[in-house]
A and B are shown apart, each in its own frame.
Chain A
């Protein structure tokens, strides 16, 4: 397991704790933005890894956007 995989797992667990679809999607988008120059400069291994992570964060974000997670979301703003 590489250092970036450990970093990914830590962030993944943090996002699971937060249960915020916005944060998950934002982190996923950041992964893809960072991978763009890496693909352009042929740094393929890291770029591919970032794309995997991005996909995983998008999946997490989609899951947490389900209504069932509304009540259990961490730090939900109270009206």
Chain B
């Protein structure tokens, strides 16, 4: 019986994986929430080198995306590489680089951490089940937040790595082993930093306190010299390595000094936003129950499901049944309580403390959504629950199998709605034919032009560097039908759209029911209002051939670069080197001419001619413009200055990464 219990838990684990995530094992389209569909035709366009300016950022007219550079680089390079070399479509790419890695890493990393801390592979399997299959992470990945999903998956491995480093130092396993472990921790942290800054921030705090906690308990074994050695290998070296590997964006970010959260507006930085986004109550975080479970509809919070309250009862039952308290497990008890308190955000009890943290602690503004702290609870409970069960089983040996089998049945019961009500990326979606037709039109049109979506695009709206898409609501900060059309009917709106290089204005077909909503349900009359109002705009010409999508053409869109006040098309020719760099050839220029560049105005855009830089001036409230350096015909470069620092520090990042890998390999061989 003993040897079969592992097989039982393995069976349960795979049961969960295949029944919950079965759609990931087909080649059906996946798209929901934050996860858009990418047409294959757009995958080969992006350059491999990270670019500091993203023309597609936030579906406006482009913006500095330095703080998202690692994730964007991963996203773009994996897609382009696999598509170019293997000819693979997006359906394969997203599974190979996001969905499957999430599953595999999450299961293995939680298993290894569980086995290290619990000294028992059987209960470590329970750790994997709890960590990989709980309401929090299921809703995160079904909602398309795969960056968070991947960072979440690697988190236990990072804790394991740091714990191994501390153990190696305490047990005096030799300097090569110590440095190797320290460098591995640094590399792992660097990988998490690619996927999500917030999870990295949380894990930094966890590691800091965890290693301090371990050090305190081993303090009698540590001399001052060893303590300094430990500080270096646990804190300075790994985080130093991670900083250097990520210097290609951290240093430019610090130099540029633009806080992206401030740029995105008060919805990300105000106290009101924190209160609004604190959807989880104390009972939700205590029970590791995502507040939007099961339907995962933004803002829709459900009544507390009482059965989930048994989860903390089980998790903390080791306090009742243990004869002696394992110090290393106690840390996870404190961690759970910290995570529970922070996971509820600005709600009672003591919600004002969260507001205080949000206002005063550096970078805490990243946590307007307090459910990010649920990773702390998931990590803790994935250790505490199996530990408690093992403690109880240790005291009442006859209950060993009943307890673990009973817990598994209970866990399946808590997740029963996942099999029926949770949708998102867990169910297939069909791409409407109209979007495929739109994609074909745009792919065949090689001239640069934007599409403007009223009020915002569907997940299936084609976009690329040649045809960026713009959400009206994000670019112009209005979203209701009446406000949108008041704006579009203004005297200068047609000129604005032309100067923004907008060729198509589109009212999306909301096949997923996520754009035109009333009381969180699809509202067809809102779609009709947008469609009929767009049809009445005099300067928009309907494009035929679409049944549900409403597409209109703007008469004379300008190019990405043009001369202000001049309609002559052959005086300016341009070529994109990277999204941060353009070469423009101009003809018959006078000193009165002004070159307009229809990306969002940013003072770091420079026109460079003969090694001299010319500043950008705001044009028409939204765009950049440059005064021409001289008359005649010549070539200039328009360059986003922070890209210089990205290029320089990219070399440092790559060198540090390679050196670390070489040292790790050499030290494992020697």
Please give the residue numbers on chain A whose beta carbons come within 8 Å of chain B beta carbons, in ascending order: 21-22, 24-26, 28-29, 32-33, 35-37, 39-40, 42, 44, 47-48, 51-52, 54-55, 58-59, 61-62, 65-67
Contact = CB atoms under 8 A, between A and B. Distances in A.
Interface in B218-268: none
Nearest to A48: B283
Given A51-B309, A54-B286, A65 B304 contact: no
Contact of A48 (B281, B327, B330, B333): B281
Interface stretch (B13-21, B314-322, B504-512, B567-575): B314-322
Contacts of B334: 62
Given A21-B325, A51-B282, A54-B312, 16 more contacts: A21-B319, A29-B316, A32-B312, A32-B313, A35-B306, A39-B303, A42-B303, A48-B283, A51-B283, A51-B286, A58-B316, A59-B337, A62-B319, A62-B333, A65-B319, A67-B327
Interface in B303-352: 303-307, 309-310, 312-313, 316-317, 319-320, 325, 327, 330, 333-334, 337, 340-341, 348-349
Given A29-B313, A32-B312, A39-B309, A22 B319 contact: yes
A27 B584 CA distance: 74
Contacts, number: 81
Contact of B337 (A25, A35, A58): A58
Contact of B312 (A26, A37, A58, A67): A58
B312 A24 contact: no
B558 to A, nearest CB: 58
Contacts of B340: 55
Nearest to B311: A32
By DSSP majority rule, is chain A's interface helix, strand, loop, or mixed?
helix
A54 to B, nearest CB: 7
Contacts of B286: 51, 54-55
Contacts of A25: 316-317, 319-320
Q: Which 8 A-B pairs have the closest CB atoms?
A: A25-B319, A39-B306, A65-B325, A62-B333, A36-B306, A51-B283, A61-B319, A40-B306
B337 A55 contact: yes
B316 A66 contact: no
Contact of A29 (B317, B327, B341): B317
Contacts of B333: 58, 62, 65
A61 B313 CA distance: 13
B155 to A, nearest CB: 22
Contacts of A47: 283, 304
Contacts of A22: 319-320
A35 B316 CA distance: 16
Contacts of B283: 35, 39, 47-48, 51
Nearest to A37: B306
User: Which residue among A32, A61, A67 has the maximum number of chain B CB atoms within 10 Å of its CB?
Assistant: A32
Nearest to B338: A59
User: Which residue among B282, B283, B337 has the maximum number of chain A CB atoms within 10 Å of its CB?
Assistant: B283
B316 A28 contact: yes
Contacts of B319: 21-22, 24-25, 58, 61-62, 65
Nearest to B333: A62
B26 to A, nearest CB: 38
Given A21-B325, A42-B303, A47-B304, A62 B330 contact: yes
25 contacts: A22-B320, A24-B319, A25-B316, A32-B310, A32-B312, A32-B313, A35-B283, A36-B306, A36-B307, A39-B283, A39-B305, A47-B283, A47-B304, A51-B286, A54-B312, A55-B340, A55-B341, A58-B316, A58-B319, A58-B333, A61-B316, A61-B319, A62-B316, A62-B337, A65-B333
A65 B317 CA distance: 13
B270 to A, nearest CB: 26
A33 B304 CA distance: 14
Contacts of A59: 337
Nearest to A38: B306
A2 to B, nearest CB: 13
Contacts of B306: 35-37, 39-40
A59 B423 CA distance: 36
Contacts of B341: 55
Given A28-B316, A62-B333, A66-B330, A55 B325 contact: no
